[in-house]
Amino acid sequence: MLHASGIHLARGGRTVLHDVDLTARTGQVVGVIGPNGSGKTTLLRTLYDALTPQAGAVVVDGTPVRDLSRQEVARRVAVVAQEPESELPITVLETVMLGRLPHRPALARPRPGDHAAAHAALDHVRARHLAGRLVSRLSGGERQRVLVARAIAQDAGHLLLDEPTNHLDIRFQHEILQLVRGLAATTVVTLHDLNLAAHYCDAVLLLDAGRVVAAGPPAEVLAPAVLAPVYGVAVHRTELDGRLHLLFSPDPCPPAEPPTDPHPGPETDT
Q: Tens of pLDDT along 187-246?
A: 999 999 999 999 999 999 999 999 999 999 999 999 999 999 999 999 999 998 888 999
Provide the 10 A C-beta neighbour count for residue 171: 9
DSSP secondary structure letter of residue 102: G
Nearest to 21 by CA among 164, 216, 178: 216
Can you give the residue ranges of every domain in the chain? 2-229
For 2-229, the fitting CATH number among 3.40.50.720, 3.40.50.10470, 3.90.79.10, 3.40.50.300 is 3.40.50.300
Amino acid occupying residue 5 = S
Residue 269 has pLDDT above 70, yes or no: no
Residue 56: alpha-carbon gap to chain centroid: 21
* Pairing verdict, β 158-162 and 186-190: parallel
In three-state secondary structure terms, 71 is helix
Strands (E), 74-148: 77-80
pLDDT in tens, 102-139: 998 877 888 889 999 999 999 999 999 999 999 999 99
* pLDDT range class, residue 256, cuts 50, 70, 90: very low
Return the percent helix, strand and coil in the chain, to nearest 5.
35, 30, 35
Q: What is the DSSP string of 198-242?
A: HHH-SEEEEEETTEEEEEE-HHHHS-HHHHHHHHTEEEEEEEETT
Residue 139, C-beta contacts closer than 8 angstroms, at least 6 positions apart: none
